[in-house]
Amino acid sequence: MNYDNLDMKHILVVYFSQTGQAKLALDAVLQPFSANTQYQLHYQLIKPKKAFPYPWKYMEFFDTFPETVQGVPCELESLTIDTTINYDLVVLAYQPWFLSVCVPINSFLQSAEAEVLLNNKPVVTIINCRNMWLGAQEKMKKQLLKLNANLVGNITFVDHSSNLTSLITVLAFVLKGKKEKFMGFFPKYGVNDKDLAKAPEYGRIIQANLEANSLKNIQIQLNEKKALDIRGNLLIMEGRAKILFPLYANFVSKKGTAGSEQRRGRVRVFGIGLPLVILLVSPIITIISRLAPLIARKKFNKEIAYFSQNTLRED
């Protein structure tokens, strides 16, 4: 590859894509860059040495819960990133697992390479998920701060179905590989075609700000184009799970490490209990979320505003 053009800007794109969803979102957002010869995109797919399966088996899927929540890294295949290049921007694409950063990307963030590559670099995150991403992005913010990286933008691609509907379709997707209409009537799961069609607008916003050497207003402009999906009912639900998930992750891991027979009983309880709790609690949380803006409008709006920007609040 010829890098002799001194005016060329280099963008490092680090991503994990187990099902292809993340790559779809990435390609759509970065289309303005790939079509411009003044930019060079450097892609790095993060690959665990022991690949996570797709489709998952039920117990394998829920057995990843403790280590994901606790931030335990996995071993990765060697990276092929050219560390001699002074990257103008880093794009990180990931999926939340159990309200946390997925294990492969979290493992990269804890690597020696990340310390070098992300130090003092502007970062844009691109998230694709069912619908809950707030807790994962908070953990992402903490990791980026440790790496002295500057989070300047965030974009989300979520499933637009109701919480209960997407609970069924996501389980069909990850456990059965069924993306199209499950059982003939549930809607197609995953990244929405309409969202992909407008994604290049986000790329043009990033590009314009990068060319102007002014990245501080990217998120404001992205928000104007509805790049973030924040739902009141899920904000409340995530707030509750944020407290409970670490407690149960610790409870499971006390019985053994990932894949051990000793903890299968506790994993099975979680695998049955989590969907059941979502099923039972979702209607109640939805009602509360509709009342919250009326009862505590100022606090509710403050939470929405906080998750619409990229700084990390103090604990």
Confidence check: pLDDT of 2 > 70 = no
Token match 């939805």: residue?
286
Token match 């309200």: residue?
99
Confidence check: pLDDT of 245 > 60 = yes
pLDDT in tens, 155-206: 999 988 887 788 788 878 888 777 666 566 677 777 888 999 999 999 999 9
DSSP lists the bridge partners of residue 123 as 90, 151
As a whole number of angstroms, the distance between CA 93 and CA 17 comes to 8
H or E element: which one contains 90? Answer: strand 89-94
As a whole number of angstroms, the distance between CA 236 and CA 56 comes to 28
pTM confidence score: 0.91
Span of 60-64, 128-132, 275-279 with lowest mean pLDDT:
275-279
Cβ-based burial of 92 (10 A; exposed 0-12, middle 13-18, buried ≥19)? buried
Q: How far is CA 162 from the centre of its chain?
A: 19
8 A C-beta contact, residue 156 and residue 127:
yes
> Beta strand 96-97 with 89-94: parallel, antiparallel or unpaired?
unpaired
8 A C-beta contact, residue 91 and residue 126:
yes
Q: Where are the alpha helices (DSSP H) in the chain?
A: 21-29, 31-34, 58-63, 65-70, 103-109, 112-117, 134-146, 163-176, 193-211, 218-224, 232-253, 264-295, 297-307
Cβ-based burial of 285 (10 A; exposed 0-12, middle 13-18, buried ≥19)? buried
Residues 6+ apart with CB under 8 A from 266: 251, 252, 255
Token match 């809607």: residue?
187
**pLDDT for 293:** 66
Confidence check: pLDDT of 283 > 80 = no
- Average pLDDT, integer, range 53-58: 91
Confidence check: pLDDT of 66 > 70 = yes
Span of 115-124, 242-251, 255-264, 273-282 with lowest mean pLDDT:
273-282
With bands split at pLDDT 50, 70 and 90, how would you rate the model's confidence at 78? very high
